[in-house]
Structure 1
Amino acid sequence: MFTLSASTLRPLFKAEQVRELDRRTIAGGIEGFALMQRAASSAWHSFRARWPQARSVTVVCGGGNNGGDGHVLAALAIQSGLKVQRISLKPLATLNGDAARAAELATSAGVGCEEWHAECVFTGDVIVDAMLGTGLRDEVSGPARQAISAINAAKRPVLAIDIPSGLAADTGAVLGEAVQADGTVTFIGDKIGLHTGDAPDYTGEIDFRPLGVKAQAFFDIPPFAWRLDEAWLNEAFAPRSRTSHKGDMGHVLVLGGAPGFGGAALLASQAAARLGAGKVSLATAPEHITASLVRCPEVMAHGVRGGADLDELPQKADVIVVGPGTGQAAWGQAVLQHALASTAPLVVDADALNLLASHWPNERRDNWILTPHPGEAARLLGCSTAEVQKDRPAAARALQQALGGIVILKGSGSLIAGPGGLAVCPYGNPGMASGGMGDVLSGMLGALVAQRSEIEQSARLGTLVHALAADRAAKGAGERGLLASDLASYARELINP
């Protein structure tokens, strides 16, 4: 069984965990102000690497340690010859602790300071957001919200320190309004909220700087999640044995394509074949058989008018993919009922998820992968889509705890929740907002489960391959017009590194 490699997957933490890492680092002998200086120096290097031609900078500082990082960066900028505009949300005289020391350092270096007011005009080539940091819990209001609006309206490049102000570090949700950064430099431990939910619209490129802190050395602070990485593919897909045969590569059965809805099941079955399954069977409405033979003759297509026509097909499969194009009427209900009666691992997608919510709400099993988008997740949880999106990690974990198996909560920063914990996929692009993408994912997942049997790692790998294939397809011809059927050939390249 292939397992996670800490060398290729980045640990992600919640904000309180990172604060605890910070506290322990200080207790271990590094002065808090020295750590702040280290963070500001790292942010400055990130700034210069991204904008080497910048001749001026505006640094907007809050009243806490995030603001302190900004004050020290302002000092470094003026010492390097840049023209610096420093704006503080709080009067400098009211600051305390390390933030006060940092502000004094900047003042001593010759950096002027103005208090934030609604008429502030930003003069820097680049704006540095050092306002709110990771401690934000409630919706942004007052001067901070005004400053966020002004930064976004300025249409200047923005570097966010630690996290864009207004973004929740634990969920990736926007708390009222958030800074839209071009880059984010984050410290000590990477945060889950930078990689899911609304975050990709606000963080820009993420530059992680551990500041010499080895987070994983603290065994009693386990990562909240893992960030999947493309480098993992080289470890996961070793060359096949020279004596391999199709029987070794598993048999996938796709149950889908109710009358009039054949495309989704065809996409899923072809994706399963392209991801290396030894045999792929498709049970679909009879009128879709010809299309299946034309599209992919390697798939063994069976015409199914209802559950009785399935015969022993489910018993012959190593894994069953159910849901693409099933609909929620009698045909879909019948094939899902037969899938649930099987002991084989299941990949449950699309209308099969809606049928679970409406007809089998108490069904639970350890050997299935559920792949809901936020709307389907909301129906399964009995809440609103907005509630799911407000805290995607919590929703994914709640679904997994209630239904068992593995849950892939799709969307920006797809989350994979299972017995081994939570993983986040940072890849994918807006071109995936088109029909059939989920069907292709379900076929890929079925193929990987068939070949590997271990469903949690298969779920993580399948999500990763699916997103990376979409990124390669978009890089080749653009995001607009990206079709689900474009992904299979790119995915095949990815699994043959």
Structure 2
Amino acid sequence: MQKILTGAQVKELDANHVKITGQSSLKLMESAGQSFVNWFLDQGYSKEKKILIAVGAGNNGGDGLVIARLLVERQYQVRIIDCFGSIDRFSPDALSNFNLLPKSVQVVKLNPDIFKDYAILIDAYLGVGLRGELRESAIDTIQSLNLFQGVKISIDIPAGLPSEGVGNTELCFQANWTVTFEFPKLALLLPENTWIVGELIYAKIKVDAEAFDQMETSYYFLEKKDIPALHKHFTRFSYKGDLGKVLLIGGGPGKMGAIILSCKSAMRTGSGLVTCHIEESERAIIQTAVPEAMASWGLIANPEYYDALGIGPGWGTDNRLRQFQQLLEDFNKPMVIDADGINLLAKHEALLSQVPENSILTPHIGEFERLVGNCQGHLERLSKAKLFAMEHKLIIVLKGANTVVSLPDGKQIFNSSGTQYMATGGSGDVLTGMITSYLGMGYDPVNAALCGVYHHGLAGEIASKSKFRGTIASDIIDAIPETYSQLRIA
């Protein structure tokens, strides 16, 4: 998995790369510029659209100068906005690239009047090196750049945004796109910064893996390439018992949709046998909606028969405490707890000590804060999730745009798959069924959580390609098989 480093560590990472590979820092800057240009060309922008690049004195400005040269070589019309003041202030690599600029590239002073006739503004002003409060001159520059009415693109991180913090929209460049290099900076993954970051793009520049090995962090980024190695593999002789017997508990009267979605998603994920434990009055609903599943009600006589349990979707909390306590007493393997299962833990904190180690809790933000108390922003949520997972030896899947999996060893893993079109009722119930399915197949709980989260997000991406805002939870379930095809998981 890709490490997520602080802004302060980026310079050290670059130095490690140069030392290990022998490649110059100037070549690394060239790679960054080329990676950005590759993405830019893929967007299909017409060469009739004129481009402004706001260039600062540091290495982010150097990236901008590389991009200017490469775009001019491809017949784009480019102007540089002077945000550096004097060439004496350039970093060595930025100065080298300034001297390589084609003579046709004009350097102009910042003035809103120059925005006329330009369609694209690229922000290469400050980058990840920002420390402390912005100078007044920097604030004036950013606010002037924000007056631009065309497409605004930031290189690596929007100017004014602290790499690990929450930005003030009035003091940060407000990008439509942010193209970040090698790994996402923490600030780019915080929901509070959405209106600053815009759409986030990850551009690889091939930093040597050994250079990352020397860096310490507790944050990681889960990518497509990580997933195949996390999966178990089955043979043609495998039968339904090998693929897991799972029990999903939930679905009170009027809320059967939640458990049906969990049940269907477990089946589509690959479970061999799925049983839904529901109210007896609702049994006809489940057997009609999901004929492949079995139904049970009343006393759960032998929970240890099942390879995995998933508890909570549509369950309700009234008159459920005793049943929950009994399950915690009778089932000693890791389980998945969602929705009303989490709400019961929040109401009865003593139950937490009975939850089997490495169980997986899958709260949305509201359920999480019922469990740990109110949080002042996402950074505090991340901190509390980490401490909660370590203290109780549980896995916390904090759902959101970049779902974060917090592990008992203190690691926190951000998911890279998913789309805003998954913000629809029942999406979380689908995830519960998927993670329970993997757990039932015998996956290590960490791998079950990570595979569930990634495949869930990827299924959402696939489903929404044609449906956009019309995507519903059932569409995500229907797309699960295609995730295996795309990842080449047999």
TM-score category (smaller protein): 0.7 to 0.9
Pick closer, same or farther for the CA change 1:458–1:100 going to 2, 3 Å: closer
CA deviations on 1:190-243 (whole Å, 9 max, x unpaired) are 535445645676353524232x53043453225654433345555555763233
1:437 deviates by 0.9
SS in 2 for 1:471: helix
Write the distance in 2 (CA, Å) between the matches of 1:242 and 1:109.
Answer: 65
Write the distance in 1 (CA, Å) between the matches of 2:222 and 2:334.
Answer: 23
Pick closer, same or farther for the CA change 1:187–1:380 going to 2, 3 Å: same
Amino acid at match of 2:316: G
* Identical amino acids, percent of aligned pairs: 30
State how 1:160-179 maps to structure 2 within 5 Å.
Answer: 160-170=154-164, 173-176=166-169, 178-179=172-173
Pick closer, same or farther for the CA change 1:452–1:222 going to 2, 3 Å: farther
Pick closer, same or farther for the CA change 1:337–1:412 going to 2, 3 Å: same
The answer for the alignment partner of 1:351 in structure 2 is: 340
The answer for the alignment partner of 2:126 in structure 1 is: 132
- 1:281 matched to 2:275? The reply is yes
The answer for the alignment partner of 1:373 in structure 2 is: 364
Write the distance in 1 (CA, Å) between the matches of 2:484 and 2:37.
Answer: 38
The answer for the alignment partner of 2:389 in structure 1 is: 400
The answer for the alignment partner of 1:446 in structure 2 is: 436
Write the distance in 1 (CA, Å) between the matches of 2:131 and 2:58.
Answer: 14
Amino acid at match of 2:363: P
State how 1:84-95 maps to structure 2 within 5 Å.
Answer: 84-92=78-86, 95=89
Q: Unaligned 5+ residue runs, structure 2?
A: none
| TM-score, reference length from structure 2 | 0.84
SS in 1 for 2:241: helix
- 1:424 matched to 2:408? The reply is no
CA deviations on 1:254-285 (whole Å, 9 max, x unpaired) are 22123443221222122222222222222222
Q: Would the aligned equivalents of 1:367 and 1:455 in 2 still touch at CA under 8 Å? A: yes
- 1:209 matched to 2:204? The reply is yes
The answer for the alignment partner of 1:360 in structure 2 is: 349
Q: Would the aligned equivalents of 1:269 and 1:280 in 2 still touch at CA under 8 Å? A: yes
CA deviations on 1:319-369 (whole Å, 9 max, x unpaired) are 1111111223333x2333233322122111112222222311672542200
Pick which of 84-93 and 101-110 moved more.
Answer: 101-110
The answer for the alignment partner of 2:14 in structure 1 is: 22
| TM-score, reference length from structure 1 | 0.83
Candidates 336, 341, 350, aligned match of 2:324: 336
Pick closer, same or farther for the CA change 1:317–1:87 going to 2, 3 Å: same
Q: Would the aligned equivalents of 2:65 and 2:94 in 1 still touch at CA under 8 Å? A: no
Write the distance in 2 (CA, Å) between the matches of 1:20 and 1:266.
Answer: 50
1:75 deviates by 4.9
CA deviations on 1:424-466 (whole Å, 9 max, x unpaired) are 2222222211111111111111111000241100100011111
Pick which of 341-350 and 389-398 moved more.
Answer: 389-398
CA deviations on 1:366-409 (whole Å, 9 max, x unpaired) are 2200111122222323232x42x246654442332233221111
Write the distance in 2 (CA, Å) between the matches of 1:391 and 1:54.
Answer: 45
Q: Unaligned 5+ residue runs, structure 1?
A: 1-8, 305-309
State how 1:53-64 maps to structure 2 within 5 Å.
Answer: 53-55=46-48, 56-64=50-58
1:94 deviates by 7.0
Write the distance in 2 (CA, Å) between the matches of 1:423 and 1:413.
Answer: 9
Q: Would the aligned equivalents of 2:53 and 2:79 in 1 still touch at CA under 8 Å? A: yes
The answer for the alignment partner of 1:4 in structure 2 is: none
Amino acid at match of 1:13: L
Pick closer, same or farther for the CA change 1:65–1:494 going to 2, 3 Å: closer
1:69 deviates by 2.6
SS in 2 for 1:452: coil
Write the distance in 2 (CA, Å) between the matches of 1:105 and 1:79.
Answer: 15
Write the distance in 1 (CA, Å) between the matches of 2:58 and 2:399.
Answer: 35
Write the distance in 1 (CA, Å) between the matches of 2:132 and 2:392.
Answer: 31
Write the distance in 2 (CA, Å) between the matches of 1:45 and 1:243.
Answer: 46
CA deviations on 1:30-75 (whole Å, 9 max, x unpaired) are 5555644554454445444545633532111234332233244445
The answer for the alignment partner of 1:489 in structure 2 is: 478
The answer for the alignment partner of 1:465 in structure 2 is: 455
1:486 deviates by 2.3
Amino acid at match of 2:431: L
SS in 2 for 1:13: coil
State how 1:231-250 maps to structure 2 within 5 Å.
Answer: 231-232=225-226, 234=228, 240-250=234-244
Pick which of 437-446 and 100-109 moved more.
Answer: 100-109
Write the distance in 1 (CA, Å) between the matches of 2:469 and 2:35.
Answer: 37
CA deviations on 1:277-329 (whole Å, 9 max, x unpaired) are 2222222223222211111133222234xxxxx24243332211111112233
Candidates 271, 290, 298, aligned match of 2:292: 298
Superposed CA RMSD in Å reads 3.4
Write the distance in 1 (CA, Å) between the matches of 2:94 and 2:480.
Answer: 53
